[in-house]
């Protein structure tokens, strides 16, 4: 692995929501690194903890959320040991986020010019209005929006344009990490594609790292270099994105997700979702949280939480590794995984 300092480093991170029914274990023992210039995808079904993790990184958690364990470092700095003042400077300057509800992230009663200028001036108080406005023009051009729209209000722009502006604001202060939580989900496929291409271009030009959250596996497999797969709050696999299309060794959950994508699966493989549903985070099952849905669950999976094992191109939390290593079986191919569920 790279010797450079990671832009983002999560060490054993756990987040709990306090609720009337008890603690909701939304993120559990997550370890993840993102290096400079890297695009890392974060994939998982709805409710798997992706947004919770993103909000925790930004230290913008909901009132009832608590970081119960672990360390989060951005550019080597512990996000949770900063004072509020330090954090205010740090956020947007060094780490920025495009929120899941980004379409509503813009202030409806403020012109685009005012919103971008305010971003600059609140973080760079010495910047003059003229300077900030010039920078706003540059930014719009960067995301291919005609600067004439500076005087527009958000509702006068299309969804795709609004989303481009939200992304422009996130990168305005040249952060080294940009977290994008489902940045294109609300848009149609053509607009989605064009925005992704643009993000990729911007990323190359400016060299920031991206943590890209999505539930669209095919999109992420194409866009990211590495992919973390989340299940019930845990990163159950961390893999080289290239291997996702080649039928390499993966966590059974990852295989289940891959099988649900027509484009990436083998022609003969029948497309199907994963039977069952994610566990209740108030009552996580013992052992591997995926065991109730896993076609390979053994006695160990019901009892013991799997450690992290190193496969050829990825790290997985899965007991299958022991079986394979012990010579009891080969790592199941995608095809056998499909058949075993039918
Ligand atoms: N304020 C809250 N109080 C209690 N539980 C919450 C709260 N916010 C989220 N949760 C629970 O935490 C879990 C993780 O939610 P989160 O929003 O992080 O999932 P996600 O992976 O981002 O899902 P999606 O793909 O739907 O955005 C869910 O089970 C959710 O119900
Ligand atoms: Ni989310």
- Give the tens place of pLDDT for each residue, 259-287: 777 654 455 555 567 888 899 999 999 99
> Would you tell me how many other CB atoms lie within 10 Å of the CB of residue 134?
14
DSSP 331: P
User: Do 150 and 115 meet the contact criterion of CB atoms below 8 Å apart?
Assistant: no
Task: Write down the ipTM of this complex.
Answer: 0.99
Alpha-carbon distance 24 to 15, whole Å?
9
User: Do 152 and 111 meet the contact criterion of CB atoms below 8 Å apart?
Assistant: yes
CA 53 to centroid of ligand 1, rounded, Å: 10
Amino acid 334: pLDDT? 55
SS3 of residue 140 by DSSP: helix
Residues β-bridged to residue 18: 23
258 pLDDT tier (thresholds 50, 70, 90): confident
Nearby residues for ligand 2 (ion, Cβ within 5 Å): 50-51, 100
Q: Which residues contact 13 (CB under 8 A, 6 or more apart)?
A: 27, 29, 30, 31, 53, 56, 67, 69, 70, 71, 72
Residues β-bridged to residue 302: none
> Would you tell me how many other CB atoms lie within 10 Å of the CB of residue 22?
12
- Candidates 18, 44, 52: which one to mutate for ligand 1, based on the most atoms within 8 Å of Cβ? 52
CA 119 to centroid of ligand 2, rounded, Å: 25
Amino acid 77: pLDDT? 96
32 pLDDT tier (thresholds 50, 70, 90): very high
CA 47 to centroid of ligand 1, rounded, Å: 5
SS3 of residue 97 by DSSP: strand
- Per-residue pLDDT reduced to its tens digit, 71-127: 999 999 999 999 999 999 999 999 999 987 766 789 999 999 999 999 999 998 899
Amino acid 342: pLDDT? 42
pTM here is 0.92
The residue contributing the CA closest to ligand 1 atom 12 is: 26
**Counting atoms of ligand 1 from 1, which one is nearest the CA of 215?**
25
How many residues make up the chain in this entry?
A: 342
User: Do 88 and 50 meet the contact criterion of CB atoms below 8 Å apart?
Assistant: no
Mean pLDDT lowest for which of 28-42, 55-69, 217-231?
217-231
More confident residue, 4 or 306: 306
């Amino acid at each position: 692995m790279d010797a450079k300092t990671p832009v983002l480093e999560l060490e054993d991170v756990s987040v709990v929501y306090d609720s009337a029914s008890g603690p909701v274990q939304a993120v559990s023992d997550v370890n993840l690194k993102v290096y400079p210039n890297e695009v890392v995808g974060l994939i998982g079904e709805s409710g798997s903890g992706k947004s919770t993790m993103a909000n925790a990184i930004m230290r913008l958690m909901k009132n009832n959320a608590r970081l119960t364990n672990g360390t989060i470092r951005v550019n080597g700095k512990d996000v949770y040991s900063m004072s509020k003042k330090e954090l205010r400077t740090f956020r947007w300057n060094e780490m920025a986020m495009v929120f899941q509800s980004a379409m509503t992230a813009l202030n409806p009663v403020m012109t685009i010019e005012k919103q971008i200028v305010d971003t600059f001036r609140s973080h760079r108080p010495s910047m003059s209005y003229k300077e900030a406005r010039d920078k706003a023009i540059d930014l719009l051009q960067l995301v291919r929006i005609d600067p004439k729209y500076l005087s527009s209000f958000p509702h006068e722009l299309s969804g795709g344009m609004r989303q481009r502006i939200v992304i422009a604001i996130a990168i305005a202060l040249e952060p080294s990490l940009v977290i994008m939580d489902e940045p294109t989900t609300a848009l149609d496929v053509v607009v989605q594609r064009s925005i992704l291409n643009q993000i990729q271009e911007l990323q190359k030009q400016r060299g920031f790292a991206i943590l890209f959250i999505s539930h669209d596996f095919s999109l992420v497999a194409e866009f990211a270099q590495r992919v973390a797969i989340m299940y019930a709050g845990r990163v159950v696999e961390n893999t080289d994105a290239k291997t996702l299309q080649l039928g390499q060794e993966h966590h059974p959950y990852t295989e289940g997700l891959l099988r649900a994508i027509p484009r990436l699966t083998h022609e003969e493989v029948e497309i199907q979702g994963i039977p069952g549903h994610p566990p209740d985070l108030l009552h996580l099952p013992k052992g591997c949280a995926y065991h109730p849905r896993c076609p390979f669950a053994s006695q160990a999976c019901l009892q013991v939480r799997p450690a992290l094992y190193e496969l050829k191109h990825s790290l997985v939390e899965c007991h299958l590794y022991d079986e394979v290593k012990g010579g009891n079986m080969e790592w199941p191919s995608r095809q056998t995984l499909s058949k075993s569920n039918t």
